[in-house]
Amino acid sequence: DWSQPYPAAPWQLQEYMNSPVLVLRDANWFADFPTSALWAEYLYAYTHSHSVDGVIAFDQHFLVMLLAVLGPLQLDGVEYPISDQNVIAYMRESKNPPTGEMIPADWTRKDFIRKLADAVREKLEGGDQDWPVMAQVLLQAMDQRHLLLQFDDPVISTLLAQRGWDNAIRPGGGDFLMVTDTNIGFNKTNAVVEIGLTYDVDLSDLDSPVGTLTLTHQNNADRNVPCIHWNTGEITGEKSYPIDRCYWSYLRVYKQAGVQLLDATPHRIPAEWMIGQASVPARVDVLDEEQIAGVQAFGTLLVVPGGQTLSTSFRFALPQTVLSPRPGTDELSLHLHLQKQPGTLDHALTIRVHLPKNALIKSIPPGASVQNNDLMLQTSLLTDVRLDVVFSIP
């Protein structure tokens, strides 16, 4: 309803996507889910006589998990059953108009959502389910950030916050890190982008701890597709679901308050790669995230051509509060919390902690290895990662 006074969009959407106002479609811009949910409720009310009592968000992988328990669905007008094995392929194909025939007047490229929702609801309400197994799948989906919940009820909200199922950004004590990629490329190329994270915590000088984050973005799309941000033309088989493209991402890094950026390796974006035909300098933006308490955030624009890999690093001066003395002992504890971005699978993650040479290690996380007081843990961001390293200095 363009007669309504829509709020200004975040500056990144204005500058990089030519989107001057914030509409419901873009309410998920905010990394803090309660903030996104609040905007979704607000913008929904623009075209309805009422708002809603909460917001439930889920990604494609949640449907895979759900159908593995529910079993195949029979959808109206679909000749074959939809299962956990083919649901993603079905959704991608459904965004293409019918070929070789007149396009029905009532055809819309997202009608598959209604068909899936009706079939899932009908099967759930049928009652013939293994509810304990279903409950386990829902818990797993929430822990893995494939399902997010926000309700206006304060009792339920408290429970969701305690379990982290609302995906609010809460740094807490110790060291904190959350990395988010937002596809701003008018495409679905993130489906073929592999992301790896390495985070080094250097405690060799306890008075000046340093954290270094290195990210790699590998775009497995066709390397022969030019980086044209808008009106890219059509590629056979991808009329409504373009994947084989360059990858435009606005990368955000969230750290706890008190962190200072010492150095970074941002990337210059040439003008011909941008919708506005203006180059973007290699810069790191210090972001205003006043709605998130205890956070310092940084952002930068990336473009990764098909068939290429891009590496980006950030080096931070960490506050001494990343180390906590253990009461009644001479031991120090490093607590590190890495929060997963919802909608992602399991980015590869390597964590390294460099302790002083004379440190005596008391406790390390399961799966970690130690050599010469350097600790390394190789894992993935399937869920949030929390670890503690305990040591003492003679």
Distance CA 91, CA 100 (A): 20
Quote the radius of gyration of the chain (alpha carbons, Å). Answer: 23
pLDDT in tens, 48-77: 988 899 999 999 999 999 999 999 999 988
pLDDT in tens, 348-366: 999 999 999 999 999 999 9
Task: Tell me what pLDDT residue 81 has.
Answer: 96
Strand pairing of 285-287 and 295-304? antiparallel
Report the half-sphere exposure of 214 (CA within 13 A, side-chain side).
Answer: 9
Confidence of residue 147 (pLDDT cuts 50, 70, 90): very high
Task: Give the model's pLDDT for residue 240.
Answer: 61
> SS3 of 380, please?
strand
Given pLDDT bands bounded at 50, 70 and 90, which one contains residue 238? Answer: low
What is the per-residue pLDDT across 206-227, written as a single tens digit (0 to 9) for each?
999 999 999 999 999 999 999 9
Kindly list the distances between the CA atom of residue 363 and the CA atoms of 203, 289, 352, in Å, as whole numbers in the listed order.
Answer: 16, 35, 15
- pLDDT above 60 (res 233): no
CA distances from 335 to 171, 353, 391 (A): 11, 11, 12
